[in-house]
């Protein structure tokens, strides 16, 4: 199966996502409350056509698509909206299961800039299970229209994870988002030499430093 839009999409089972994952450098979950722009961001980055619209609960199953950024393939997984990891509905359970057990390299948590407080609940809950979070404050244009301004740098320092502001329809802002996704999960290569056979083969091992938290602004 190649990395084409026809081999990705909505009708994927978790097994299919796992297969695609093997063909990508990183897997990034896109999570957040309902109706905050997750699928709009996913579509724009992957060129796919996940259902979007101005009401909550549109995404009911995980969808996966690929985006290339700085020569790396990122498998993006658009998951159903959820207010909390204590799932109530079937969609919330799907979201909870992917965030907790899907083993993504990182999770982009998309927040609605017009109602941050409500959205932060999921951020705090997710931070308890993984440090690999990038907070994406979306709908900045709506916030501006409502006279709300957000100090993104301060929020980043307070939360201790990268915070990026986006307007999902503006590609440039999504490129800024991807820039913050890229730097951390650096594949490190270490070379080990067997001490008892100093001239013998050395071997290399690669692993992801994905258990480290993403770098935040100084």
Ligand X SMILES: Nc1nc2c(ncn2[C@@H]2O[C@H](COP(=O)(O)OP(=O)(O)OP(=O)(O)O)[C@@H](O)[C@H]2O)c(=O)[nH]1
Q: CB of 18: closest distance to ligand X in angstroms?
A: 22
40 binds Mg ion (CB under 5 A): no
Site string for ligand X, 113-152 (x = CB under 6 A): -------------------------xx-xx----------
Site string for ligand X, 152-191 (x = CB under 6 A): ---------------xxx----------------------
Q: CB of 138: closest distance to ligand X in angstroms?
A: 5
Secondary structure (DSSP) of 70-106: TTEEEEEEE----S-SS--SHHHHHHHHHHHHS--SE
34 binds ligand X (CB under 6 A): yes
Site string for Mg ion, 52-91 (x = CB under 5 A): ------xx--------------------------------
53 binds, among ligand X, Mg ion, none (CB under 5 to 8 A by kind): ligand X
CA 70, 75, 80, 86 dihedral sign is negative
CB 193 within 8 Å of CB 202: yes
Which helix (H) or strand (E) segment holds residue 158: the answer is helix 152-159
Number of residues in contact with ligand X under rule CB under 6 A: 23
Nearer to Mg ion (CB atom), residue 21 or residue 38: 38
46 binds Mg ion (CB under 5 A): no
Dist. CA 55–CA 62, nearest whole Å: 18
Dist. CA 132–CA 161, nearest whole Å: 8
Which helix (H) or strand (E) segment holds residue 63: the answer is strand 63-69
Site string for ligand X, 61-100 (x = CB under 6 A): --------------------x-------------------
Which helix (H) or strand (E) segment holds residue 142: the answer is helix 140-145
Exposed, middle or buried: residue 71 (CB in 10 Å: 0-12, 13-18, 19+)? exposed
Q: CB of 199: closest distance to ligand X in angstroms?
A: 57
54 binds ligand X (CB under 6 A): yes
Residue with tokens 């990891």: 85
Binding residue for ligand X, selected from 37, 65, 165, 185, defined by CB under 6 A: 37
Dist. CA 151–CA 18, nearest whole Å: 37
**Which residues here bind ligand X, judged by CB under 6 A?**
32, 34-40, 52-54, 56-59, 81, 138-139, 141-142, 167-169
């Amino acid at each position: 199966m190649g990395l084409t839009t026809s081999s990705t999409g909505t009708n994927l089972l978790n097994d299919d996502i796992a297969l695609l994952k093997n063909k990508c450098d990183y897997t990034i979950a896109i999570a957040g409350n309902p109706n905050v722009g997750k699928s709009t961001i996913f579509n724009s980055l992957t060129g796919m056509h996940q259902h979007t619209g101005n009401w909550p609960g549109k995404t009911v199953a995980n969808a996966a698509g690929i985006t290339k950024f700085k020569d790396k393939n990122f498998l993006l997984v658009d998951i159903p909206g959820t207010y909390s990891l204590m799932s109530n509905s079937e969609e919330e359970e799907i979201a909870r299961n992917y965030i907790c057990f899907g083993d993504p390299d990182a999770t982009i948590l998309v927040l609605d800039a017009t109602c941050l407080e409500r959205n932060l609940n999921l951020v705090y809950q997710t931070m308890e299970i993984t440090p690999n979070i990038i907070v994406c404050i979306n709908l900045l244009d709506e916030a501006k229209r409502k006279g709300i301004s957000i100090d993104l740098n301060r929020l980043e320092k307070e939360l201790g994870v990268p915070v990026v502001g986006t307007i999902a329809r503006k590609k440039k802002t999504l490129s800024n988002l991807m820039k913050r996704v890229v730097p951390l999960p650096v594949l490190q290569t270490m070379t080990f030499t067997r001490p008892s056979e100093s001239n013998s083969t050395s071997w290399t091992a690669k692993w992801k430093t994905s258990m480290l938290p993403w770098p935040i602004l100084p």
